[in-house]
Every structure is written in structure tokens, then in C-alpha cells.
Amino acid sequence: MATHKGRAKCIPKDPDAIFLPFQSKWIMDSSRLKLMEKTRQIGISWSTAYGSAERTAAQGARHDEWVSSRDDIQARLFIEDCKLWAGIMNLAAKEHAAQSPAGRNERAFLMLPIRQNLPRRVVDTSINRWDLYLLPLVLAVLILAAYGARQMTGPFQLGTPLPITLDPWSLPYYLLRTTVRMFLALAASLLFACAFAAIAAKYRAAEKVLVPILDILQSILILGFLSITVTGFIALFPGNLLGVECAAVFAIFTSQAWNMVFSLYQSLKTVPGELREASDVFQLSGWQRFWRLELPFAMPGLLWNMMMSMSGGWFFVVASEAISVANQNIKLPGIGSYIATAIEMRDLGAIGWAIGAMLVGVVIYDQLFFRPLLAWADKFRFEESGGENAQSSWLLTWLRRTGRIQALGLTGIRLLASSFTLFRRDYDGTSIRARLRGRLAGLERVWDATLAALVLLSLWHLLAFIHTEVGWREAAHVVQLGFYTLLRVSLLIALAALIWVPVGIWIGMNPRWAHRLQAVAQFLAAFPANLMFPLAVMLIHRWNLNTEIWLSPLMVLGTQWYILFNVIAGASSIPVELRYAADNVGLRGWLRWRRYLLPAIFPSFVTGAITASGGSWNASIVAEYVTWGGTTLKAHGLGSYIAEMTATGDFPRIALGIGVMCLFVMSMNHFLWRRLYDMAQNRLHF
């Protein structure tokens, strides 16, 4: 500081000193109790941090420094200051040691890098108010969950009716029961997904069988086979309600699991190569790799699919709770049974109440469960760029500020970490156990041949079955029905596209609306549209409309939103420069659509349309065959065929219907959607 520029005067006597005189006086003062009344921003925290760091680092220091602060931000800033000083002192110590080769520890802070006990913990002297808010909430959720679960067991004999009232006041209880069932099913789906995906991704032989099965399972409903499983579950717990409950949970599980499995499997297969190599080089065992690499990588996709699954579960809540078996109607207490009863009694008010209760339920578990999870999972995003769509959750913020809950989480992490010690790789690269097993080409061929033989055998059985059980005429008839439904699905997706693509583009180009309306569209997609069906039935019945036409819109009632929110997302991600360019060259009218807007949103439209079309096929089973009390409305199609056969319990025909639907969905995926998707990926990508 030999030369000074400018005209400012340096006030301190010693311009080279780091601290101002009052700061050094404050640091040097070794009184046991020091009080200071001060204004803001005079560098007292900064200089105190120096004192703390020096005292803690001193050779003979036996005490840690404890700091209490007004709030955690101030405390954290203080710790940053301490770190800064520690770093500077570390450097100074090195230089000093170099100057005096005798290496005497003249300076106390020489020991700092070894002791490593900088104050790292924030100790809040007041009661943590977040604990105060959160504890009741957590307790309430726990108690409710336990109560709901307790209600699931109890004596039960086939034939004794379970009373369902349409009193709105019993809805909270029903909501609780249904929610508990759905979360149990979700947990089961998660476990199943982990096991299934891990096996399929690891073993090629298993993959060859599991992936096609999964492809089929996720494109169809196996609702029709429910009645068989119910009998099995009831036999498992004789004289107890638990059997029926298990059957209901299983039914929900079958509607939730597949897309979760598929998402997880896809993620496991696409883990970036370098990360996989890094986990190999650093000797992670399979178990360690799953928790440290694969699951975190799959987390965002998995969570998204869990949310989709939850909505999917609501769609089948009626079918899963109101079960008919052996000519008995069992109605488990829950929203689904409530709705089923309301439909039987033609009570439109009750339906309204049920929809209201469900909305409340969806909002509650969204806020208490999915929102915090999404916000937490933000750190698992793989793309390294900053997140513009970062989720936030008030609950997660609370949880992160709460000492006790945090401690609970830490215990979980510690348990997991100790499992790493247990399941570690205990051999080295030079061990014979690491020897890469050469691929046994012969065995693989045998396995392939076995699979081919099995497929041929089952095909033969299928043909024989159709020949003897249902007859070829019926099969041809079912295929014809499939074309009716295909026509409906195609027309309605086209119609939905015609309406929602312009709307979505308009919303997407207006950033003020895009964010908000996208969330609304997502919520609408999650809402089980079949609850609105009774309303449609009443309207169709009253005006005596043609069911072939007017039942069709029900199929896209719930699925059209996928198109909308994907188009919004696509339109809002059009590069700004492209927009300017389009304006600049004066694209107008049809040319503007053809050359600029439609190609720009095409990839996201295809993504949305694939989901919407798959969902519509599924929805056709409930949409083409709707009951309202004694009235049954029905449109000719594959969906109504399956629904009708399910109602009469004709298993061969259910199987035939589902098989044909499967064929339709898969060929549509293969011949139409996959091609469009590839085209979008190759040619119309930014």
C-alpha cells in the first residue's frame, strides 16, 4: 500500500492493518463476558470470526466455539467468515514455517489444519418454532394413517353387507380409507418397480422376457381378471376383512405399477456411461451403485410417474372398492364404494360431494407428499444448467428447518450408509472372482430358442382357445369392434388437437399465463374424469342423444389435458430468437403456422398425443359402457365389449377383448406414434 490513488484519505494510523482499532480491541479483549451495542455493518461479526478461529485453532485449545445467533442466515454468514479466516491463516502458517526452518510453532494457528474443529454447528438459543408448527401436523398424519390402517382388519364373513351411507359427513372417513389403500398400493408398486427394473436391467436373459411382458401390461388394463384374484386373497385371510382389502389394494396396484416400472427401467438403461465407469473404477458394489447412482438418476422420472400413477389409481377407485365375487357384492368403505352407491341410488348431490372430497384429498396429498418430494428431488436433476422450473414446497422448507425431523431423516441415511459397509464389493480387480464371465453364446441361443418355442406354443393355445371357446365369428366381430373404437380414439384425438394446439400455443407464448395454466392443465389431467360421467349420462338420457356419438367425448375427457400441457411446454420453450426471426421475415397467416409454429411444437405435441391416445384406449372401457342407476348407456366398441363381459364374468371373452385391444394399442404405437416420435426427434428438434 505504498501508493494511494485518488483523493480519499485513509483514516487509520496504520494503513496496512487488517482490522480497524475498535475491531482489534474487541478481539484482544479476553474478558469472560463482553457486551457491545452497535450499529449494523461495522465488521464486528467478521472480526469476531477471526478471534473465534484463532482461539479454536490454538495448540492448547480444548474447547469448541459455540455461537448463538438471531437466525440461521446470520449464523451461516458467521461460519463463512470463520472459514475464510481459517483459510487465510492456513496459508500464513505455511509461509511462516517456510521462513523459519527451525519450524518452531511460534504462531498458535499452526495447528489449525490438523484440528479441523471450526464451529460448524448452528445452535439456536430460542425454541425452534418450526418444531412447534410441524410436530402437530406430523403427529396428526401419523395417527390418521395408523387409524386408517387399523380399520383394514376385522372379522368379516362373505355375505355380510358392509353398510355404506351417503351422508357427506362420513366422507372424510371414506377418504382416509381410500387414501391409505392408494398409498399402500403405491408403496407396493415402488418395491415391485425397483425389483423388476433392477433385474431386467441387469440380466439380459431376464430382460428378453420381462420387457415385452411389461410392454403389454402397461398398455392394457387387467381389471377384468380382478375377480379371480379376489377369491385368492379372501382365501388367504379367512374370516377377515384383510383379504378383501388386499384384493382392493392389488387392484389399485395393477393400475399404478407399470409405468413406474417402465420409467425406472428406462432410467437404469440410460445411466450416463462415464458415471457408470466412475462407479466401477471406485469399486461400488451393485447395492451401493443402486443407491448412489441408479436410483438418484431415475428419481425425477420415477416421481413424475408416481404422480401419474396416483391419478391413474383414482380412475379405478370405484372398480377396486366395489367388488363382485361369487355373486356377492362387497363394498369396502371408501370413496369408490360411496360413488358406486350414489350411482345405484341416482343421487347426483352425493356424487358432487364425492368429487369435492376427492379434490380435497388430491390437494392434501399433493401438498403433504408430492410437492415436498418434487422439491427435494430437484437436486437429482441431471442436466447441470440452472433449473427454471424449480419446484418449491412450504412443507419441505419447514422440514429442513426442523431439528427433530431432520434427525429422523439422518438416522435413515445413517442406516443406509451402514448397509453400504455390509454389502460392499469384497474382492479386487486381480481376484479370480472379478473375472469377466465370457458370454456363453451357446446358452444364450438355447434360451432364445426356448423363448421362441414358448411364444409359438402360447400362440397355438390361443388359436385353439379361440376356435373352441369363442369361435372365429366372434373373434372377427371383436376385431371389428376394435376398429370402431380406433375410429373414435383417432377422431377425438384429432379434435382435441384441433382445439388445444392453438390454445396451448397461445398460452405458451404468453409467459405470464403459461406457468399458471400449465399447472392447472396438469391437475386436470390428474383428475379422474370418470366421476363426471354420471352427469353426461343424465344429459344424454334427458335429450335422448345418440350414444354412439355422444358417449365418445368421455374417452378424451381426462386425456385431452396431456395434449394441452405438453403443447404449452413446447410453445414456451421456442427460442426467443426464432420468434424474432419469424416476426422479422413477416411470416403471417397459414404460412406462419406451417413453417414456424406447428414444426416448433411438434415434438412436444407428439409426446402429449402418445399419452393421450394410450389413456383414451384405457378409458374406452369405462366410457363406452356407462351406468347410472338402472340406466345403462352403451356405444358399440371394444371398450364396451370388455366392460360388458366383465359385468357378466365371461372370462374367455374378457381375455379375447383384452388381447385384441392389446394388439390395437401396440400396433398403433409401433406404426404411428413411434415413427412420428422418431421423426420429431430427428428433424424437428432445436
Partner 1 sequence: MEQALIELRDVGKTFRSADGSARSVLEHVDFDLRPGEIVALLGQSGSGKSTLLRIMAGLIGADGGSVLYRGQPLYGPARGIAMVFQSFALFPWLTVQQNVELGLEARGMAPEERAARASQAIGMIGLTGFEGALPRELSGGMKQRVGIARALVVEPEVLLMDEAFSALDVLTGERLRDDILELWEGGSMPAKAILVVSHNIEEAVLMADRVLIFASDPGRVRVELPIHLPHPRDAKAPAVRALIDEVYALMTASRAAPPTEAPARPHLVERLPAADVESMEGILELLAARPFAGHADLPQLAEESGLTDEDLLPISSALHMLRLAVLEKGDISLTPIGQRYVAGSNLLRHEIFGQQLLEHVPLIANIRHNLEQEEHGALRAEHFLKLLSDSMNLEEARDVLSTAVEWARYGEVFEYDYHNGIIHLPEGTPLTLRM
Q: Among residues 169 and 686, whose Cβ is nearest to partner 1?
A: 686
State yes or no: residue 4 binds partner 1 (CB under 8 A).
no
What is the contact mask toward partner 1 in residues 435 to 474, using x (rule: CB under 8 A)?
A: xx--------------------------------------
CA distance 152 to 20: 71
The site string for partner 1 over 67-96 (x = CB under 8 A, - otherwise) reads: ----------------xx--x--x------
* Interface residue with partner 1, options 284, 332, 563, 645 (CB under 8 A): 284
Q: Which of 280, 444, 448, 583 is the binder for partner 1 (CB under 8 A)? A: 280
Measure the CA–CA gap between 439 and 432, rounded to whole angstroms.
Answer: 16
Contact mark string toward partner 1, 115..154, x via CB under 8 A: -x--------------------------------------
Based on the shown chain and the rule CB under 8 A, indicate whether residue 274 belongs to the binding site for partner 1: yes
122-128-129 Cα angle (round to 5): 145
Q: In DSSP terms, which residues pair with 544 in a beta bridge?
A: none
Give the nearest distance from C-beta 647 to partner 1 in angstroms: 49
Q: Which of 73, 135, 143, 434 binds partner 1 (CB under 8 A)?
A: 434
Element (H, E) at 325: strand 322-325
- Provide, rounded to whole angstroms, the least separation between the CB of residue 374 and partner 1: 15
HEC string of 614-642 equals HHHHHHHHHHCEEEECCEEEECCCHHHHH
Asked if 552 interacts with partner 1 (CB under 8 A), we say: no
> Does 296 contact partner 1 by CB under 8 A?
yes
C-alpha radius of gyration, the chain, whole number: 33
Least Å distance between CB 299 and partner 1? 8
- Please give the Cα distance from 93 to 663 (Å, whole number): 75
Q: How far apart are CA 625 and CA 548, in angstroms?
A: 11
CA distances from 17 to 40, 52, 92 (A): 22, 19, 15
Point out which span in 151-159, 228-236, 414-422, 540-548 binds partner 1 (CB under 8 A): 414-422
Alpha-carbon distance 334 to 24, whole Å? 71
Do 305 and 260 contact (CB within 8 A), yes or no? yes
- Does 59 interact with partner 1 (rule: CB under 8 A)? no
Q: Interacting stretch for partner 1, rule CB under 8 A, among 281-289, 314-322, 341-349, 569-577?
A: 281-289
Candidates 65-73, 98-106, 230-238, 292-300: pick the segment binding partner 1 (CB under 8 A): 292-300
x/- binding map, residues 626-645, to partner 1, per CB under 8 A? --------------------
- Provide the CB-side half-sphere exposure for 78 (13 A, CA): 24
Handedness of CA 526, 530, 531, 536 (dihedral sign): positive
Rounded Cα–Cα distance for residues 660 and 666 (Å): 10
Residue 389, all three cell numbers = 422450473
- The phi, psi pair for 37, rounded to 5°, reads -100, 125
Residue 19 binding partner 1, by CB under 8 A: no
Q: Identify the residue among 39, 125, 126, 430 touching partner 1 (CB under 8 A).
A: 430
Pairing of strands 322-325, 328-331: antiparallel
User: Where along the sequence are the contacts to partner 1 (CB under 8 A)?
Assistant: 83-84, 87, 90, 113, 116, 272, 274-275, 277-278, 280-285, 288, 292-293, 296, 379-382, 384-386, 417, 420-421, 424-425, 428-432, 434-436, 683
